[in-house]
Amino acid sequence: MKNVLRTMRAQRGWSQAELAERLGVSRQTVNSIETERYEPSLTLAFRIASLFGERIEALFTPDPPH
């Protein structure tokens, strides 16, 4: 799943640690999501979308079916 989390975070001038603090997760979690090694749960995805004031679809794009 692709995401634009890094771009959105950079637009707000937040560090990974700052974003992690706001989301209540570890910095490693933010980094893993940004590098697309980890796909967040729906709960966390909603929390991220809510924090950025966006819809989930604006932040996360599912991979095309094989």
Partner 1 sequence: MSHPRPFHSIANRWRIVTSFSLWGATYVGVRLLLDTPVAGGWRAALALVPLPFFLWLLVELIRALRVMDELERRIQLEALAVAFPLSLVLFMTLALLEIALPLDPANWSYRHIWPFLTIFYATGLTIARRRYQ
**Rounded to an integer, what is the distance from CA 6 to the centroid of its chain?**
7
Q: Which of 6, 14, 18, 23 binds partner 1 (CB under 8 A)?
A: 23
Task: Tell me how many residues contact partner 1 (CB under 8 A).
Answer: 16
Site for partner 1 in 37-66 (CB under 8 A): 37-38, 40-41, 44, 47
Q: Which stretch binds partner 1 (CB under 8 A): 7-15, 16-24, 55-63?
A: 16-24
Annotate the chain with DSSP letters as a single string. -EE-HHHHHHHHT--HHHHHHHHTS-HHHHHHHHTTSSPPPHHHHHHHHHHHT--HHHHEEPPPP-
Site residues (CB under 8 A) for partner 1?
20, 23-29, 31-32, 37-38, 40-41, 44, 47
